[in-house]
Amino acid sequence: MAFVSTFSQFCLFFTFLISSSIAQTTSFTPKALVLPVTKDSATGQYTTQLSQRTPLFAIKLTVDLGGQYLWVDCDQNFTSSTFRPAECNSEVCNLAEYRVCGGGFCSLYPYNPITNTATIGQLAQDVVSLQSTDGSNPGSIVIAQRVLFTCGSTSLLEGLANGVKGMAGLGRGPIGLASQLSSAFSFSRKFAICLGEMGVIFFGDGPYNFLPDNNVSQSLIYTPLFINPISAPGSFFPREKSIEYFIGVKNIKIDEEPVSINSTLLNFFDKEGNGGTKISTINPYTMMERSIYKAFTSAFAKALSGVPRVSPFAPFDVCFNSSHLGVTRVGPAVPTIDFVLQSPTDYWRIFGGNAMVQVKEDVLCLGFVDGGLNPGASIVIGIHQIENNLLEFDLARSRLGFTSTLYFQRTTCSNFNLTSNA
C-alpha cells in the first residue's frame, strides 16, 4: 500500500487557509476539548451534542468518523444573528471539491451515509461552543467564532437517531471538525474517540485519563494512516478525495495462526480505489469482502471447534452455545483475532468482548459480517470492534494510536469523569 507522502504538505496548506478565516475569542486558551458521546439504543448510532449559533442552541448530532464536515438541518428552527453564508470563489468555498455557486453563495452536498443520500446545502460559518478539558474532566466552555458547516435539509435526517439534527463529520479533509477546531484554538491537529454505552471525543492533545486512575495515553500503539489515492470506496461522489481513515492491515491471524486470504484485496488494488481497510463509526459490525469473510469465519470456527455450534443468527453465520464458553476479564474466552499491521510484531488484537455478540441468552455469534463481492474497502472495521478501545487520529503525523481493549486496564470508555472542574 503506497503511503502518500504529500499529505502533510497538503494539510499544512489548508491549515494556513483555515486559520486565516476562523477566529476564536475566548481569553482562556484550551489545550484540548471534549465532547460527551451516547450510544442511541434504537439505532446503535453514536450521538453527541454541541452548541451553535447566537443565541447558542444545543444540537444533537450523529458522529461520522469518515464524514467531510459538520452539517445541520437549517430548514427548521434555524435562527442565528452570527450566521454567515460563504461566498462563491471565497477561500473556504474553494476548499471543497464538489461545490456549486448560486446567487453569489457557495453550496456543497451534505451526505448521510446511513441512507446514502445527499442534498444541496449552503456552506456557512457560525459560532460553535464546547467544553475544554485537561484530560481528566471537562473544564471551561470555549467558543470558536466562525466554524464552517453545511446546511442540510430536514429530509436528510432520515435514518438518523431520534432528536438528531445533523452529523459531526470527523474526516481528515480541510473542513472536517478536527482540522477546524485545531486551527481555531492552535492546538495539535489530532482527535481521539473512545466509544461505548457512553463515550467521549477529544480534540487536541492528551492525556486521556479515565476513572479510576488510568492514563490511557501511555498504552497507545501507533500505525500509519493511509490515504486512498483514488477515491473513497463507496463514496457518493466519484473521485472524491479520500477523507476516510485507512490503516495498513497486512494479514489476519486467529490464535496467532495466519488466515489464508488474497492479500491483493488489502491494498488499493484498482483504478476505482477499491480495497484497503478503513475504520467506520457507521457500520455496526466489521464487514469483510466475501472471500476474506469466508476464510476468516471458517478459520475461527475451526479454532473453536471444541465448542458446540448453533444455527446462524442473521446477520451472523458463526454462532456458538455460550454455556460452553468461559468468561475472562476481556470477554468470552474465544481465540484472539489480530489485524497484523506494518510488521508481524505490530498488531491490533481483538479479544472476546469485541469479537463476539450475544444474540440470545445462550448464543454468542462472531460479530463480523459478509460485505459481498465488491464492497469498496475490503475490510471496514465497525462499531462493535472499536468499542471500549481508544483511537487517536493524529492528522499532522498521519498516524493512528490505538489501545486495544480498555478492559485490560480495568476501565471502559464510559468511565471518563464528566463532572466539570471549571
Ligand X SMILES: *[C@@H]1O[C@H](CO)[C@@H](O)[C@H](O)[C@H]1NC(C)=O
Residue ranges binding ligand X (CB under 6 A)? 76-77, 137, 207, 209, 211, 215, 217-218, 262, 264-265, 269, 310, 321, 323, 362-363, 417, 419, 421
Count of CB atoms within 10 A of residue 271's CB?
A: 8
Minimal distance, residue 148 CB to ligand X, in Å: 23
Minimal distance, residue 233 CB to ligand X, in Å: 13
Q: Which cell numbers hold the place of 375? A: 464492497
Q: Which of 73, 37, 56 is nearest to 149 (CA)?
A: 73
The secondary structure of 343-357 as a DSSP string is: STT-EEEE-HHHHEE
Minimal distance, residue 263 CB to ligand X, in Å: 8
Interior/surface letters 126-136, b for 16+ CB within 10 angstroms, e for the rest: bbbbbbbbebb
d(CA 403, CA 194): 10
Q: Where are the beta strands (DSSP E) in 119-267?
A: 121-133, 138-152, 166-169, 190-194, 198-204, 209-210, 214-215, 221-226, 245-247, 251-254, 257-258
106/156 with CB nearer ligand X: 156
Q: Which residue has the cell 475569542?
A: 25
For residue 3, the surrounding DSSP H or E stretch is none
27/77 with CB nearer ligand X: 77
Minimal distance, residue 96 CB to ligand X, in Å: 27
Q: Look at residue 300 and give its three-state secondary structure.
A: helix
Minimal distance, residue 310 CB to ligand X, in Å: 5
Q: Which of 188, 191, 196, 195 is nearest to 177 (CA)?
A: 191
72/124 with CB nearer ligand X: 72
343/419 with CB nearer ligand X: 419
17/310 with CB nearer ligand X: 310
Q: Look at residue 246 and give its three-state secondary structure.
A: strand
Minimal distance, residue 271 CB to ligand X, in Å: 12
Minimal distance, residue 289 CB to ligand X, in Å: 8
22/304 with CB nearer ligand X: 304
Q: Which cell numbers hold the place of 70? A: 459538520
Q: CA end-to-end span of the chain, whole Å?
A: 46
Minimal distance, residue 173 CB to ligand X, in Å: 28
d(CA 106, CA 234): 25
90/217 with CB nearer ligand X: 217
308/344 with CB nearer ligand X: 308
